[in-house]
């Protein structure tokens, strides 16, 4: 029998107007990966904030660490050996890798800093993690995948017992994801218990020993990985049958070209040419770093073009700034939605309506009208919120994303650029987002979709352009679209 590290009994957490956790139970054993699954707003992040001491639970519940009842606060949690690796890096930017690991806990001898020793320890552990990160590198210069490795190194150096990962692979490339999963498996063998939250069920099935499902703050089930399959897991999460695949109808795009791009270069992309037609979804696939987001930013006037020409609805468009793009009825939903897309101190209603005001003569609507529109999106996307007059900042990560999407769905644009539209979004709501995208097509809009989720880009796109190293390396028409073809082009640059 594996030793139990952590036991939560009857844990509740109430926020004003929301009970995020309702008498839930959870245990974590030595040397296991325990995944927590659930829809947006199910209470996953709240649970791990209780474990890391960031939130104190309502009275009545009990938390045990290695058999002893404990009251947690952030210091106590660290003291017990519980380390949380957050999605956003917690790293102190201008320090080296070694300094970041040891900051506040430097090794000293007779009051003298033992820098050589700290550096040696860092190098040793990084090597153990099969990483060639230089201990002297400035942490800020590392990719987000490498920064996570530094956090793991820290956990190993300080012999933590519990590591918590909340959606660690958002914005990771395929190889970075595999690498992270390898590291998780490796440190599990050292007896560390790992709590892992992800909306990517394939990751969950690759790495979990046990799965716990929450729904609406309630504990639903804990299962050994071998006793549950993906369909059962989804049913527990959503409370109904949902297909993991969306099938839309194809062949309804018109011949009218709404956006024509010729020889566009700049912002790290070179000689990009393509046409976007009314009523189609044009998918952009490729590895992280292949230049897709850079291209979108350039199209939208967020960067300087060095060559090339854009034609929007048959007119020459000299787009030098995002406001020029908006005048041409373009909308750009960036991948970094929370940072650039939401006013956390405004209500959901205000956030939903705000972008559509751009194209209106008036500067505001009545609160009632705003709430009516926002409530309709809450209903449609299944956003977990008491109503649209609560502050956006009080929502869970995925629900904030739904508000940002609602805001853009509600604009009067004609050309939509969606960058990673379903990142952080739960499996049930993805279907609703696909549904809204096809409704936009029915209204005669055109969509560019950048997605690293290959099944998604395959099932949604009329055509796919694959990018590699800042160039378009291939185009797949509907009948050529397959996972193999997308991958071969993305990796090998084989031309089809």
Ligand X SMILES: Nc1ncnc2c1ncn2[C@@H]1O[C@H](COP(=O)(O)OP(=O)(O)OP(=O)(O)O)[C@@H](O)[C@H]1O
Binding site for ligand X (CB under 6 A): 15, 18, 20, 38, 40-46, 384, 394-399, 426
Shortest Cβ 426–ligand X spacing (Å): 6
**Nearer residue to Mg ion within complex by CB, 166 or 371:** 166
What residue 20 binds from ligand X, Mg ion, none (CB within 5 to 8 A, per partner kind)?
ligand X
Shortest Cβ 398–ligand X spacing (Å): 3
Pairing of strands 162-166, 82-85: parallel
- Token code pair at residue 246: 């969306």
Shortest Cβ 401–ligand X spacing (Å): 8
**Nearer residue to ligand X within complex by CB, 201 or 417:** 201
**Nearer residue to ligand X within complex by CB, 45 or 297:** 45
When asked if residue 397 is in the footprint of Mg ion (CB under 5 A), the reply is yes
Shortest Cβ 431–ligand X spacing (Å): 16
Asked if residues 165 and 187 have their Cβ atoms less than 8 Å apart, the reply is: no
What residue 425 binds from ligand X, Mg ion, none (CB within 5 to 8 A, per partner kind)?
none
Distance, CA of 11 to CA of 22 (rounded, Å): 7
**Nearer residue to Mg ion within complex by CB, 396 or 461:** 396
What residue 15 binds from ligand X, Mg ion, none (CB within 5 to 8 A, per partner kind)?
ligand X
When asked if residue 45 is in the footprint of Mg ion (CB under 5 A), the reply is yes
- Token code pair at residue 474: 């291939």
Query: What spatial distance separates the first Cα and last Cα of the chain, rounded to whole Å?
Result: 54
**Nearer residue to ligand X within complex by CB, 393 or 492:** 393
Distance, CA of 336 to CA of 355 (rounded, Å): 17
- Token code pair at residue 458: 């395959």
**Nearer residue to ligand X within complex by CB, 20 or 467:** 20
Choose the stretch contacting Mg ion; rule: CB under 5 A; options: 103-111, 154-162, 308-316, 389-397.
389-397
Closest residue to ligand X, based on beta-carbon distance: 398
Asked if residues 280 and 462 have their Cβ atoms less than 8 Å apart, the reply is: yes
Shortest Cβ 214–ligand X spacing (Å): 7
CB-CB neighbours of 255 under 10 Å = 8
Closest residue to Mg ion, based on beta-carbon distance: 45
- Token code pair at residue 460: 């949604």
Three-state DSSP at 20 gives: strand
Distance, CA of 286 to CA of 103 (rounded, Å): 38
Pairing of strands 193-197, 269-277: unpaired
Shortest Cβ 384–ligand X spacing (Å): 4
**Nearer residue to ligand X within complex by CB, 240 or 361:** 240
Shortest Cβ 359–Mg ion spacing (Å): 33
How far, rounded to the nearest angstrom, does the alpha carbon of residue 13 sit from its chain's CA centroid?
Answer: 24
Q: How many CA atoms lie within 13 A of 325 on its CB side?
A: 20
Asked if residues 416 and 408 have their Cβ atoms less than 8 Å apart, the reply is: yes
Q: Give the position of tokens 């993906």.
A: 230
What residue 42 binds from ligand X, Mg ion, none (CB within 5 to 8 A, per partner kind)?
ligand X
What residue 470 binds from Mg ion, ligand X, none (CB within 5 to 8 A, per partner kind)?
none
What residue 46 binds from ligand X, Mg ion, none (CB within 5 to 8 A, per partner kind)?
ligand X
What residue 291 binds from ligand X, Mg ion, none (CB within 5 to 8 A, per partner kind)?
none
**Nearer residue to ligand X within complex by CB, 8 or 42:** 42
What residue 40 binds from ligand X, Mg ion, none (CB within 5 to 8 A, per partner kind)?
ligand X
Shortest Cβ 122–ligand X spacing (Å): 32
H-assigned helices in 24-143: 44-51, 74-80, 97-102, 115-128
How far, rounded to the nearest angstrom, does the alpha carbon of residue 166 sit from its chain's CA centroid?
Answer: 10
Shortest Cβ 323–ligand X spacing (Å): 32
What residue 399 binds from Mg ion, ligand X, none (CB within 5 to 8 A, per partner kind)?
ligand X
How far, rounded to the nearest angstrom, does the alpha carbon of residue 182 sit from its chain's CA centroid?
Answer: 20
Contacts of residue 345, Cβ cutoff 8 Å, sequence gap at least 6? 391, 392, 393
Distance, CA of 406 to CA of 371 (rounded, Å): 12
Shortest Cβ 217–ligand X spacing (Å): 7
What residue 38 binds from ligand X, Mg ion, none (CB within 5 to 8 A, per partner kind)?
ligand X
Three-state DSSP at 496 gives: coil
Site residues, Mg ion (CB under 5 A): 45, 396-397
């Amino acid at each position: 029998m594996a030793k139990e590290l952590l036991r939560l009994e009857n844990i509740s957490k109430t926020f004003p107007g929301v009970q995020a956790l309702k008498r839930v139970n959870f245990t974590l054993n030595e040397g296991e990966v325990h995944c927590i699954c659930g829809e947006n707003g199910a209470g996953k992040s709240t649970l791990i904030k209780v474990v890391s001491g960031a939130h104190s639970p309502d009275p009545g519940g009990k938390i045990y660490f290695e058999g002893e009842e404990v009251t947690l606060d952030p210091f106590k949690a660290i003291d017990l050996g519980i380390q949380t690796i957050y999605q956003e890096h917690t790293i102190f930017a201008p320090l080296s890798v070694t300094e970041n690991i040891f900051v506040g806990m430097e090794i000293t001898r007779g009051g003298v800093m033992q820098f050589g020793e700290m550096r040696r320890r860092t190098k040793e552990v990084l090597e153990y993690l099969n990483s060639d990160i230089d201990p002297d590198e400035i942490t800020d210069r590392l990719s987000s995948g490498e920064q996570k490795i530094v956090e793991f190194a820290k956990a190993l150096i300080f012999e933590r017992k519990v590591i918590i990962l909340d959606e660690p692979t958002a914005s990771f490339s395929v190889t970075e994801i595999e690498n992270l999963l390898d590291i998780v498996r490796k440190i599990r063998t050292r007896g560390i218990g790992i709590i892992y939250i992800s909306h990517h069920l394939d990751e969950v099935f690759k790495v979990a020993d046990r799965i716990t499902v929450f729904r609406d703050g309630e504990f639903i089930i804990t299962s050994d990985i071998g006793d549950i399959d993906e369909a059962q897991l989804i049913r527990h999460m959503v409370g109904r049958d949902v297909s993991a695949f969306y099938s839309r109808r194809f062949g309804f795009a018109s011949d009218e070209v709404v956006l024509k791009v010729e020889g566009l270069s700049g912002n790290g992309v070179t000689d990009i040419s393509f046409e976007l037609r009314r009523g189609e979804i044009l998918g952009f696939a490729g590895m992280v770093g292949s230049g897709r987001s850079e291209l979108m930013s350039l199209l939208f006037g967020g960067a300087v073009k060095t060559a090339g020409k854009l034609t929007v609805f048959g007119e020459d468009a000299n787009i030098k700034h995002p406001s020029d793009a908006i005048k041409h009825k373009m909308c750009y939903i960036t991948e970094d939605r929370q940072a650039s897309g939401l006013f956390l101190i405004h209500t959901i209603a205000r956030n939903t309506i705000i972008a559509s005001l751009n194209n209106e003569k008036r500067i505001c609507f009545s609160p009632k009208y705003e709430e009516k529109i926002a409530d309709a999106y809450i209903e449609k996307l299944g956003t977990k919120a008491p109503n649209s007059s609560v502050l956006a900042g009080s929502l869970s990560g995925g629900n904030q994303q739904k508000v940002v999407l609602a805001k853009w769905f509600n604009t009067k644009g004609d050309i939509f650029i969606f960058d990673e539209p379903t990142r952080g979004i739960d499996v049930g709501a993805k279907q609703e987002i696909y549904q809204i995208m096809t409704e936009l097509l029915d209204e005669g809009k055109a969509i560019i979709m950048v997605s690293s989720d290959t099944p998604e880009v395959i099932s949604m796109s009329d055509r796919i352009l694959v990018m590699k190293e800042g160039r378009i390396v291939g185009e797949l028409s509907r009948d050529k679209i397959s996972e193999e073809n997308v991958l071969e082009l993305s990796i090998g640059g084989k031309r089809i």
